Amino acid sequence: MSTTDAGGALIGDPRKTFLGHPRGLVVLFFTEMWERFSFYGMRAMLTLYLIQHFLFGPVEAQGIYAAYGALVYLLPVVGGLIADKYLGSRKAVIIGAVLLVAGHFTMAFEGSGGREFITVGGTEYAIQVEGRNTDRQLYAVTDAGRVPISIAPEGVSVVDVAGQPAGSGAQLATAAAFPATIAADGYTTRIDRDPSGEMTLFLALSLIIVGVGFLKANISTVVGHLYEENDPRRDGGFTLFYVGINLGSVLATGLCSYLGFTYGWAYGFGLAGFGMLLGLATFLLGQSWLEGRGGPPNPEKLAGTKVLGIPLEATFWILGLIAVFPVWLLMQRHEIISTALPWLAGIIFALVVGYTVIKLQGAERARMLVAQVLIFFSVLFWALFEQAGSSLTLFADQSTAMPSWFNAGYTQMFNPGIIVIFGPIFAALWVWLGKRNKEPSTPVKFSFGLMFVGLGFLVLSWAAVTQAGVDFRVPLFFLFLTYFFHTMGELCLSPVGLSMITKLSVDRLVGMMMGVWFLSSSVAHIVAGIIAQATATDTVAGVVTNPQLALDTYSSIFGTIGWTGVGVGVLLLLLSPVLKKGMAGVR
């Protein structure tokens, strides 16, 4: 007869396995695969959706995306603490998954979006956009029909549309009494917002943010609970779990982008919602395979405690829903997040450094300080790397020449696809070098990560100057090459980051340092937003009006941050002997 231990795990019966691992890993693999499917499927379209559908300017859209990313990485700190102290990882994952399902399906209710109008000579015309890919066409809507137009720095001009007879644009303009050309100072534009649609958008993002807060850190914790202490299969289990993450990313960015760009945003977001629903169903139906692992730390206390007459577990469900409201308010004032979070993070980081210097001594102090130095450098890496969802997505849309069957959302497949191929190679490489006592130290790996991410931007900056065509677009290959270098950097830095925290932190402070790690990633998204906003140029109805200026701006900003990444990486490489010594024997 089996019983349970303090964490709810079944003991006494032989454990069943699948391919040599606890069979619960299968449940967590597919749960996380579908959760990442929904998350990355939505992310691949989000910035373009904000600009094309709601007609936010690029600066505003990238500010919203930065605030979203910052909160997505900040709230897991709170969710992890709640799980560790009260709920346990499994119950926290269920709460998070339910909120994520609600959030992703809410994204499918897109409303009417924004509407832009152009006024010429006292007459106002609505502007319509046909298509969502790089070949989008603007139309001025008149009483006599639609007139295809182009808006450039020189002004507005009527154009011919591919597939129509030459001169058809001008003929339509004449029939509709729409001017064939309009000088830059001869027209004005205005945007009508859809307030209810925007409120629904921010509600959806808020549900997703709070859901990720409950789920992100805790599902990885359940993976850890599947293995006993010092189980040699643990690293292999996490490697398989990591493959699930990236498999979900590849599938999502391909399928959701296809539906979103081809049939409409609601279809892409709806598919992401179904992905999350499958993840939730997998987790719930697979509970028996988890064997009670990741249960609450004190099941009796959780079951017997009530708050205002409400059971404690139900209280956290209610608090999760209540938390959506302040997040919803913050997302509508995203500049508050961008202003306040860096100051808060700076104060917390200073307090942690002060505590380390004053309260710790010897090897403990040295290791903690090295961890804090590497966390500081990681902020720059993630600030550059996370351009993927903002400025690099807009670069794909505005300044990249792509085949007709390819769209900007598909470029988000590059990173996870490269990880699936090269992740096992890097893992084997570190083992091979380790056996020969030649594996680079953690600081050296971090420096490689920074240099690779900087090199990726230098490639794109160079291509923008030397390889752009007459339409001011760079061949897709160079954007792929940028993602390749960025992914090489990620493989050098990301897998060792969390391991570094656990190895260098004092045992009693691991939780605090893990919180600082997530907080630094949150701040990195704010910095990433500032960088992305610097690349923005004007759009009308979501279409960039000056392709040459857009390309030149990208080239300048990418060149600056590229050299910054390489330079800081070299600096860290020079500091690595000192940092390695401070690690006091920890590899």
Q: Is the dihedral of CA 366, 370, 375, 379 positive or negative?
A: positive
Position 6 scores a pLDDT of: 46
Cβ–Cβ under 8 Å, residues 50 and 514: no
Position 353 scores a pLDDT of: 93
Cβ–Cβ under 8 Å, residues 253 and 399: no
Write out the DSSP string of 164-221. S-TTHHHHHHHHHT--SEEETTSEEEEEE--HHHHHHHHHHHHHHHHHHHHHHHHHHH
Cβ–Cβ under 8 Å, residues 70 and 341: yes
pTM above threshold 0.85: yes
Q: How far is CA 423 from CA 37, 124, 428, 429, 536, in A?
A: 19, 55, 9, 10, 33
Position 11 scores a pLDDT of: 46
Residue among 538, 393, 533, 385 nearest 66 (CA): 533
Beta strands in 237-341 (DSSP E): 306-307, 310-311
Q: Is 322 exposed, middle or buried (0-12, 13-18, 19+ CB in 10 A)?
A: exposed
Position 245 scores a pLDDT of: 80
Q: Give the residue carrying structure tokens 């993630």.
A: 382
Q: Is the dihedral of CA 392, 396, 397, 400 positive or negative?
A: positive
β-sheet bridge partners, residue 145:
142
Cβ–Cβ under 8 Å, residues 86 and 316: yes
β-sheet bridge partners, residue 182:
156
Position 188 scores a pLDDT of: 94
Q: Is 351 exposed, middle or buried (0-12, 13-18, 19+ CB in 10 A)?
A: exposed
Q: How many residues does the chain have?
A: 587
pLDDT along the chain (587 residues), means of 10: 47 60 84 87 93 94 95 89 86 93 94 93 92 90 87 90 64 71 92 94 96 86 76 71 83 94 94 94 89 82 82 92 96 93 91 92 92 94 96 96 93 93 85 87 94 98 96 97 97 81 78 82 95 94 93 98 98 96 84
Q: Is the dihedral of CA 455, 456, 461, 463 positive or negative?
A: positive
